A and B are shown apart, each in its own frame.
Chain A
Amino acid sequence: MGEDAFVIQLLSFYLFAFMVIASAVMVIMARNPVHSVLWLILAFFNAAGLMVLLGAEFIAMLLVIVYVGAVAVLFLFVVMMLDIDFAELRAGFVRNFPLGLLVALILFVELFVGLVAYNAGGLVPDSAAAAAQAAGAIDAGGASMSNIEAFGALFYERYLFLFEAAGLILLVAMIGAIVLTHRRRPDAQRSQQDIGRQNRRRPGDATVMKQPKVGEGVAL
């Protein structure tokens, strides 16, 4: 790799990384929840860019298609349907801030501990290394084979049976959701307009002319 390519890679890394952090901060700082979701989408996009830099283009695609395409849009719909009292939201933020900070601290310490543990080595048992070697038929192509090809080879060859079965599980989930929520509503049918009936209707069907005398009411 040439010097220029390296510089470009470095620059784009810092760009993506900065944008991820900045938009993540904006997700929690934005007052309007709709804006938060939009910032979140930006964060996903930049994370996808980072993945591309790492050479993990499959995960990058997943991020864009699944998270940006489906999950974030779903979030947007949900957020738009919420009726949020913004003042209350901010009060809650201040009150819960120490708790949130604590959770964040714990997560950070865990991450740190995990990193130290990983660096110390010895976590990978011999059998795992052997299994990794045995699976090398697919992994060995790492240099020449792209991520997507490697995933495809695993999904459609080694795990074909399970891949199809997972598809059936999703189908079952879909059937279940429909069975439990879908219902034919006779009242929904009735509320629809019946043009024929509307046209057949004459003034005489709906209105009555009365000529009450002065001082007397109308019998209804």
Chain B
Amino acid sequence: MANFSSFYFTGAEILLSLAGLVLLMLAAWSGDRSARLVTALACAALIGGAIFSYDLLTNPSYELGGDAFGGLYRMDAFGSFAKILVFLASAACLVIAPRYFEERGGYRGEYPVLILFNAVGMSMMVSAVDFITLYIGLEMSSLSSYVLAAFLRSDQKSAEAGLKYFVLGALASGILLYGISLLYGFTGSTTFIGVGAAMAGDLSTGQLFGIVFVLAGLAFKISAAPFHMWTPDVYEGAPTPVTAFFATAPKVAAVALTARVAMEVFGSQSDAWRQIVMTAALLSIVIGALGAIGQENLKRLLAYSSINNVGFILLGLVVANEAGAAAMLVYLFIYVAMSLGSFVGLLMLRDTEGNLYETFADISGLSTTRPLMAWCLLLLMFSLAGIPPLLGFWAKFVVFQATVEAGLVAFGAIAIAASVIGAFYYIKFVKVMFFDEPAGVVTGKGGRGHWAVLAICTLIVSPLGYLLTPALDVLAGKAAAALLIAS
């Protein structure tokens, strides 16, 4: 049962939980004055978790991973890779938050604490090898997400986003649980290995329904079409630092979870789940590209962009081999950098009083008033559009390569066509910034934390990011191999 290695393998979760509890006490006793201190410590804890996971990922003695707590949890390269991404993205979303909230009725220590518990839930999700662990991790992450979406409770839009997210999220959790209970009922096990083994051979109708429900519930969490409807509303209403968080860390965790469930549980029934994931992938790519065209609000636009990107990530999963899984992980890494960068860019579109401007009309002529920011946004947008030589192109390239090598040429072609359509609104973004009359409303300056995150993200997506690719390839390959070994 629980021995030392169990506790060591779950070290990141334990570290973050303890940090969350201690910081909660600190925030409760010293009030909102300590909010910035709590944020800094939470950041340190998240980076500590990332370093710990990196150590597990690269340490040769843990090459094969290991089970913890009697097969409820598995430490392996795949989980560690996803955890590093999740923790770093969460830490970045802490760095950009204090100033935003201070300008809107006060920053509070509960924000970093909720992010920490969210991170605990997400890291349980990516390491889950039992449906109960999966569900508990997912709920921990979702519950804190609902609260974060409504964190600016005096703001009507934020409260609405929180409520909407809560109601729809609860519905999705219900669907997921129903699927899990069907799988349990028809296979007699809750562990991934047990369910997978029981599903080998002929698939019964009940099991098929289980697969459909589980995938539908997970598709909601990663906001893949046709379960994407909540995304634009919630992304628009939630406070911008929270939106940046939603678009990155929970998405990485949910995608990793979906990949693990698809490969390890449904591995023997690849015909069944690949159809579903493929449909979701293509729909997401097309809806993400077309839906964004009419948007005036930049947060909504980026929400559709994230739906579109999830489609590409799922395309890597559909391939269902090591190259596909590695391509998916590489895409996830680059997506996190691009997404984080663009949301931080939006966060910096402000006047001197801190009011945010987030429509196309507000950014017109940004290149003359704020040239540095405009150039950063240009790189990020071109990267999202997949224009070479930026790193976003490479992300799309590896996914297409894996798709074509697996013989799914038609799907690759549809995805490329949709990404050309999608390029329209990214380029419109740049055109408005560089060639329209200056609107001159963006007069405020971003904070140091904002600039730091924006600079790092821009550097990653710029051609300099190719320096990272050899190391990224090795780590993603290792993680993908771990996923495939287990299945």
Interface residues of A (CB under 8 A from B): 124-125, 127-132, 157-162, 165-166, 168-169, 171-173, 175-176, 178-180
Say yes or no: is B319 at the interface (Cβ < 8 Å to chain A): no
Please name all residues of chain A whose beta carbon is closer than 8 Å to the beta carbon of B187 when the two chains form the complex.
125, 127-128
Q: Is the CB of B188 within 8 A of A130?
A: yes
Q: Is the CB of B147 within 8 A of A161?
A: no
Leading 6 A-B pairs by shortest Cβ distance: A128-B188, A176-B147, A127-B188, A161-B69, A127-B198, A131-B188
Q: Is B410 an interface residue (CB 8 A)?
A: no
Q: Does B294 contact A (CB under 8 A)?
A: no
Could you jot down 27 A-B contacts, CB within 8 Å? Answer: A124-B188, A125-B188, A127-B189, A130-B188, A131-B189, A131-B194, A132-B188, A157-B2, A161-B73, A165-B137, A165-B140, A168-B117, A169-B121, A171-B117, A172-B143, A172-B147, A175-B110, A175-B117, A175-B144, A175-B147, A176-B144, A176-B146, A178-B110, A179-B151, A179-B153, A180-B147, A180-B150
Please determine whether A158 and B70 come into contact, CB atoms closer than 8 angstroms: yes
**B170 contacts chain A at the CB level, 8 A cutoff:** no
Interfacial chain A residues near B20, Cβ < 8 Å: 168
* In the complex, chain B residues whose CB is within 8 Å of the CB of A169: 121, 136, 139-140, 143
Q: Are A175 and B17 in contact (CB under 8 A)?
A: no
Contacts of B133 in A (CB 8 A): 161-162, 165
Q: A127-B187, A168-B117, A176-B146 are in contact. Are A160 and B108 (CB under 8 A)?
A: no
Q: List residues of B whose CB falls within 8 A of some A CB.
A: 1-2, 6, 10, 17, 20-21, 24, 68-70, 72-73, 108, 110, 113-114, 117, 120-121, 124, 132-133, 136-137, 139-140, 143-144, 146-147, 150-151, 153, 162, 186-189, 194, 197-198
Q: State the Cβ distance, B199 to closest chain A Cβ, in Å.
A: 10
**Docked pose: A180 CA to B147 CA in angstroms:** 7
Chain B residues near A178: list those with CB within 8 A.
110
Residues of B within 8 A of A128 (CB): 187-189
Complexed CA–CA distance, A180 and B114 (Å): 12
**Which residues of the partner chain B approach A132 to less than 8 Å between Cβ atoms?**
188
Q: Is the CB of B146 within 8 A of A125?
A: no
Residues A125 and B110 in contact, CB atoms below 8 Å apart = no
Q: Which among B124, B151, B153, B189 is the interface contact of A165 at CB below 8 angstroms?
A: B124
Across-interface contacts of B1 in A (CB, < 8 A): 157-158, 160
Measured in the bound complex, the distance between the Cα atoms of B140 and A178 in whole Å is 17
Tally of contacts, chain A with chain B, CB under 8 A = 93
Closest to A160 in B: B2
Contact: B72 with A159, CB < 8 Å?
A: yes
Q: How many Å lie between the Cα of A179 and that of B145 in the bound state? A: 13
CA distance A113 to B144 in the complex (A): 41
Taking a contact as CB atoms under 8 Å apart, the answer to whether B72 and A162 are in contact is: yes
Q: Which residue of B lies closest to A161 (CB)?
A: B69
Least Cβ–Cβ distance between B152 and chain A, in angstroms: 11
Min Cβ gap B247→A in Å is: 21
Identify B153's interface contact among A158, A162, A180, CB under 8 A: A180
Docked-complex contact A179 and B194, CB < 8 angstroms: no
Q: Which residues of A contact B146 (CB under 8 A)?
A: 176
Q: B188 and A172: CB pair below 8 A?
A: no
- Cβ of B31 to closest chain A Cβ, rounded Å: 9
B69 near A179: Cβ-Cβ < 8 Å? no
> Given A131-B194, A172-B117, do A159 and B132 touch, yes or no (CB 8 Å)?
yes
Residues on the A chain within 8 Å of B162, using CB: 180
Q: Give the residues in chain B near A159, CB-CB below 8 Å.
A: 69, 72, 132
Q: In the complex, what residues of A have CB within 8 A of residue B21's CB?
A: 171
Interface pair B72/A179, CB less than 8 Å apart: no
Interchain nearest-CB distance for A97 vs B (Å): 30
| A161 pairs with B72, CB closer than 8 A | yes
The complex places the Cα of A162 from the Cα of B6 at a distance, in Å, of 13
List the B residue with the shortest CB-CB distance to A157.
Answer: B1
Kindly state the separation between the CA atoms of A158 and B191 in the bound complex, as whole angstroms: 13
Question: What is the CA–CA distance of A179 and B140 in the complex, to the nearest angstrom?
Answer: 16
Q: A125-B188, A127-B188 are in contact. Are A172 and B144 (CB under 8 A)?
A: yes
With a CB–CB cut-off of 8 A, which chain A residues contact B144?
Answer: 172, 175-176
Shortest distance from the beta carbon of A139 to any chain B beta carbon, whole Å: 14
Bound CA span A180–B187, Å: 41
Q: With A165-B124, A165-B136, A169-B136 given, can you name 5 additional A-B contacts, CB distance below 8 Å?
A: A131-B194, A162-B72, A165-B133, A176-B144, A179-B153
Provide the bound-state CA to CA distance between A169 and B132, in Å: 14
Contacts of B136 in A (CB 8 A): 162, 165-166, 169
Q: Measured between C-beta atoms, what is the minimum distance from B90 to chain A in Å?
A: 15
Asked if B132 contacts A125 (CB within 8 A), the reply is no
What residues of chain A lie closer than 8 Å to B68, measured between beta carbons?
161
Residues of A within 8 A of B108 (CB): 179
CB distance from B265 to the nearest CB of A (A): 14
Q: Are B151 and A161 in contact (CB under 8 A)?
A: no
Chain B residues whose C-beta falls within 8 Å of the C-beta of A160 in the assembled complex: 1-2, 69
CB-CB < 8 A to A180: which residues of B? 147, 150, 153, 162
Contacts of B124 in A (CB 8 A): 165
Q: How far is the CB of A82 from chain B (nearest CB, A)?
A: 24
By a CB distance below 8 angstroms, the chain A residues around B198 are 125, 127
Q: Which residue of B lies closest to A131 (CB)?
A: B188
List, in ascending order, chain A residues with CB within 8 A of B147's CB. 172, 175-176, 179-180
Question: Given the complex of chains A and B, what is the CA–CA distance between A159 and B71 in angstroms?
Answer: 10
B135 CB to nearest A CB, Å: 9
Please name all residues of chain B whose beta carbon is closer than 8 Å to the beta carbon of A162 when the two chains form the complex: 72, 132-133, 136
A155 to chain B, nearest CB (A): 12
Chain B hits for A130, CB < 8 A: 188
| Chain B contacts for A129, CB-based, 8 A | 188
